[in-house]
Every structure is written in structure tokens, then in C-alpha cells.
Structure 1
Amino acid sequence: MTKWEYATIPLLIHNTKAILDTWGEDGWELVQVVPGPSNPENLVAYLKREKQ
């Protein structure tokens, strides 16, 4: 059975691609992006990768 680990990271609108590229290089896959809890203009990304 595959085991997963998860990360939640804030996304800066002006730097979204660079942030996701950096996490992707470490094996993280983007699962979902949602508005931040305190300010909908801020975004939060949920990522996962296989646990080693």
C-alpha cells in the first residue's frame, strides 16, 4: 500500500510558478489550491508525495 506525506504552503500570486517548481523538484505533486482562511486573495496549496 502506498503511503503519502502532505504539505500545505502559502502561494504568493506574483511568484506562484517558481514556488510550485521548487516544490515539484523535490517530488511534491500539487493536489489543490484554495483561498486562504483569513484572506481569500491569498492562496494555499496542498501538495503530496510518496512517503519514503
Structure 2
Amino acid sequence: MLATLGDAPFYARSSIAHCVDGEDAISTHESLDLDRFVNPVVKAMLPFRMPRV
């Protein structure tokens, strides 16, 4: 993993380095945690944006 691009209560986005057919490549990986998404507290936070640093 090169960097975390976004980290929210129910998903994460990262930049990753890997090799494809012998050539170096950089891609974006996203993961979604639906177990956390169904939490009522997380759903209540959806209308509000968190400040980005």
C-alpha cells in the first residue's frame, strides 16, 4: 500500500503498487464494510461531511 486516500466509517480507499505482466503499476483499491454501514449511528452520520485535512 502506498497511501490511504480515504478512510470513512464504512469504507476505505487506498493506492497500491503491484506488478502486472512484469511492469510496475499503481492502482486504487476500495473496500466496503456493510456490517458497519447498517449501524444506526453510522447511518445518522451520512448527511454530514467530515472535514478533510
TM-score by length of 2: 0.27
Of structures 1 and 2, the larger Rg is shown by 2
Judging by fraction of residues, say which structure has more helix.
Answer: 1
Q: Which has the higher contact order (CA 8 A, sep 6+)?
A: 1
TM-score by length of 1: 0.27
